[in-house]
Amino acid sequence: MMKKILLGLLLLVVLAAAGAGVAWQLNGERWQQEYAAYRKTGAPVLMYHAVGNDEGADWPKTLIMKPELFEAHLRYLKEQGYTIVTVVELAERLQKGESVDKYVALSFDDGYKNNYSVVLPLLQKYDAKGSFFVINKDMGDETHMNEQEIKGLIDAGMELGSHTYSHGPLGKIPEKYLVWELDTSRYWLKKKFDGYIVRTLAYPNGSYNPTVIAAAKKYGFYRALTGHIGLNTAATYQAAPMEMYRVTVADDGNGLEGFKKRLEQAYFFGFLQTKGIDINVVRDIFVQ
């Protein structure tokens, strides 16, 4: 049964991609000009997890980024003229309608120890910032950052965000538990980190629905990151701050070229959405 579902998903993705390609060819030069202009109106949010050579992270190996490859990403972004910011810094610019041309926000999920020992020094080397989303129940264990390390990130000007209390898929858990996953998470982080106010949420596994959005707003979150690929513009953010786009960065074996492709996907998928083509819809069929 699962094999049939996966094959069906693959077929839908292929058909959607093929349709987008046909539409691009038919509209030719006009769309190319519009695309060039569109790229200047928004900014991607990149999603990382572990960055290191350790084997401790409980994610597929493709999501454990080698330090030298991560540094290559930072170097490339700087060489291309990007300003690398936190999610909250990007959100504030979008809310005000300020230019985000050549801006990119970095996000790191789960709070792995190497986010402090490896990621922070590299961010500082390239005058870059990032947002770190921690899971309350995992803090301080063998593979996740402890309080002192997280305080170090905050002191360095990084953003601390919530990845919920226990990393449950919010769109699938009973509504009565949302107060624990969301409100308790924010309260606990505020208490642990000298009154630090967390306002940004990253949905575990990209799972959410209207009930989850309503609860997140109720419990004090101003914005949230999804698993949907696209570009964050003033229009998309002001319309749906609880559904910010971001693209997963993985080590697909293609080195820096693989990273360039994923970065481009954020822009291209966002542009297709303005034309009524949203490949993310296929993902939602299987996630929710």
- 20 in any annotated domain: no
Instruction: Identify the burial level of 192 via C-beta atoms within 10 angstroms of its C-beta, where 0-12 means exposed, 13-18 middle and 19 or more buried.
Output: middle
- 101-138 confidence digits (pLDDT tens): 999 999 999 999 999 999 999 999 999 999 999 999 99
| pLDDT (average), residues 201-222 | 97
For 17, other C-beta atoms within 10 Å of its C-beta total: 14
Confidence of residue 22 (pLDDT cuts 50, 70, 90): low
pLDDT at 21 over 80: no
- 142 in any annotated domain: yes
CATH number (domain holding residue 239): 3.20.20.370
* 89 alpha carbon, distance to own chain's centre: 14
| pLDDT (average), residues 196-204 | 98
Strands 42-43, 232-233: parallel, antiparallel or unpaired by DSSP? antiparallel
pLDDT for 287: 42
Place of tokens 């693209």: 247
pLDDT for 5: 40
Q: 182 is in which domain, residue-wise?
A: 38-277
pLDDT at 148 over 90: yes
- 205 in any annotated domain: yes
Place of tokens 């922070």: 120
pLDDT at 58 over 70: no
CA distance 152 to 123: 13
- 83 in any annotated domain: yes
Q: Name the CA dihedral angle for 162, 163, 167, 171, rounded to a multiple of 10 degrees.
A: 100
* 202 alpha carbon, distance to own chain's centre: 7
Question: Structurally, how many domains does the chain consist of?
Answer: 1
pLDDT at 252 over 80: yes
- 1 in any annotated domain: no
pLDDT at 7 over 50: no
User: Tokens standing for 182?
Assistant: 């969301």
